[in-house]
Chains A and B, each alone.
Chain A
Amino acid sequence: MSLPFVILALLTAAAAMGAMSLRPLVHCVLALVVSLSGLACLYLQLGAQFAGFAQLLVYIGAVGILIVFAVLLTRGDAMPPRRSLVQGRVFGLGVAVSVLGVLVWAISRSCLMSPTLPPAPVATVEQIGDALMTRFVLPLELVGLLLTAALMGSVMIAMQEGEDK
């Protein structure tokens, strides 16, 4: 493990914990954003440039801002009561343990545990673009269609609310 990896991993994990446990909602959002950008940096450290920048663009530029907007337009920055953080502790523990189990199972079966690592694949941005436009063009179009449908749905909901006033 290299030093940059340790720093980034600690930052990502600490920010993820902050996103769950901080009290003001906006602080949680900002901690989540830090965690997501830490993940993007980890991608970059692994040499996956396109995935890292796409993560930054999509999760910080779009998702982060969207959550901020949602928080501001609905609840404002009112502090949630302390109690809500403690509820469902047993259930949460169950979910956490099962996720850990699945991860351990997946990692133990993957090629990471074999003594000889396969050579790292080199994927340039051009190759990714080629693959998206030829082999995976149908999934790409479907994602576009899905997002358009989501956009139209949200516009419909927003317009109905406007008429009620």
Chain B
Amino acid sequence: MIDALDQIFVAAKHRLMEPVPSRWQPLVSALLSIVPLLMVFPGLFALTTLLERKGLGRIQNRHGPNRVGPWGVLQPVADGLKTLTKENVVPRGAAPFIHFLAPVVLVIVSFLVYAVLPLGRNMVAVDLDAGVLFFFAVGTAAELAVFMAGWASRNKYSLLGAMRAIAQMISYEIPLILSAVTVVMVTGSLSTVRIVEAQAEYTGWIPHWFVMQPWGLAGFILFLISATAESNRSPFDLPEGESEIIAGYYIEYSGFKFALFFLAEYLGLFAVSGMAITLFLGGWHAPAPWLEFIPSWACFFVKLLALIALFIWGRGTLPRFRQDQLMEFSWKFMIPMALVNLVSAALWQLMDCGPERWLVSFLLIATPYLLLGRSLFERNQFFKRTYRFAG
């Protein structure tokens, strides 16, 4: 019974495949793997926009959307209808083809990375030998799409936003990949499925997730911060910065193209959260041995929703960075820490099991963290800012 529920989607796929002639089976199999992804994650996007607006509303001491349907649950439908029926405006000076292509490329890239995420036991679209590499390689194309949007709009704010976005994405891609490399090093595989398998065991009630080890915890935090920056979310939302450059690279997009940018942004967030879960939070494994009756896909989505809640909380509570602070934080703090963490993970892998390796791994991360943090903090002289033209 438990197994049947766990494998319900895999079994359904096999059932649907049975009457198909063998010649068409590869095509149908691919479609049956892809179409659910294309349906579930945009659905999650609709849900998340509602949750985000509600959650932000509560944080800011107001109600959030509550007019469409009971408690405002139909708000995403209203938003979708609004964007669908809006006029599509293209500026006269824009490069029309690239202006059209940018959101399309962005959405395609955002969907492609889901191919290697294991959503449950036996539930991965393709088990690539180099899955993690695929994830990051395809993800980089998003930067180019952002540039295309910013440049093709022929608007100085869009171009500024695109430049900010590219600079930020390049800077934070390094700690993102370096913190993921630690996991690859310890498991000795680039395949997402094998990385999840490596975190399957339990000691008592405690799961063997990588986040439970000193290097894994540091790696997870680094990964999460870089992921926030990669998906241009607050407090790293300078590329969009409504109060500074209006909306950044998608200022000249209206109607459904604007919705596509929004969709791509959230899809990127879900994908990178899914990667964080796969790498550090044990993938679809249950958090304790007596919780293993929960279907694996449900575990994955609960973890995903928890991470999304964390991101919403962060957006509601943290102020935006300044551009120089953003760059300094990445190059002076995140990248050195990611490199130190790499050494720590390597030592963890080479040393024998026992308390020594916990101590060495912990000290190797905690000491540089304290020293680096101290020195950076001391160099910043804080003083009251004075403005020339404002009070």
Contact = CB atoms under 8 A, between A and B. Distances in A.
A92 to B, nearest CB: 27
B: interface residue count bin? 20 to 34
B200 interface: no
B221 interface: no
A: interface residue count bin? 20 to 34
A77 interface: yes
B292 interface: no
Contact of B137 (A33, A57, A77, A125): A57
B130 A56 contact: no
Interface of A: 24, 26-27, 30, 33, 37, 49-50, 53-54, 56-57, 60-62, 64-65, 68-69, 72, 77, 124-126
Contact of A56 (B129, B137, B166): B137
A37 B163 CA distance: 22
A30 B130 CA distance: 26
B173 interface: yes
A160 to B, nearest CB: 20
24 contacts: A26-B151, A30-B98, A30-B148, A49-B128, A53-B137, A54-B133, A56-B137, A56-B138, A57-B133, A57-B137, A60-B140, A61-B137, A61-B140, A61-B143, A61-B173, A62-B140, A65-B140, A65-B166, A68-B147, A72-B159, A124-B129, A125-B129, A125-B130, A126-B189
Contacts of B189: 126
A159 to B, nearest CB: 15
Contacts of A24: 95
Contacts of A124: 129
A-B pairs with the 4 shortest C-beta distances?
Answer: A61-B140, A56-B137, A57-B137, A53-B137
Interface of B: 95, 98, 128-130, 133-134, 136-138, 140-141, 143-144, 147-148, 151, 159, 163, 166, 170, 173, 188-190
Nearest to A62: B140
Contacts of A62: 140
A60 B166 CA distance: 13
A69 B146 CA distance: 13
A53 B128 CA distance: 11
A61 B141 contact: yes
Given A53-B133, A53-B134, A68-B144, 9 more contacts: A33-B144, A49-B128, A53-B130, A56-B138, A60-B137, A61-B140, A65-B143, A72-B151, A126-B188
A56 B112 CA distance: 13
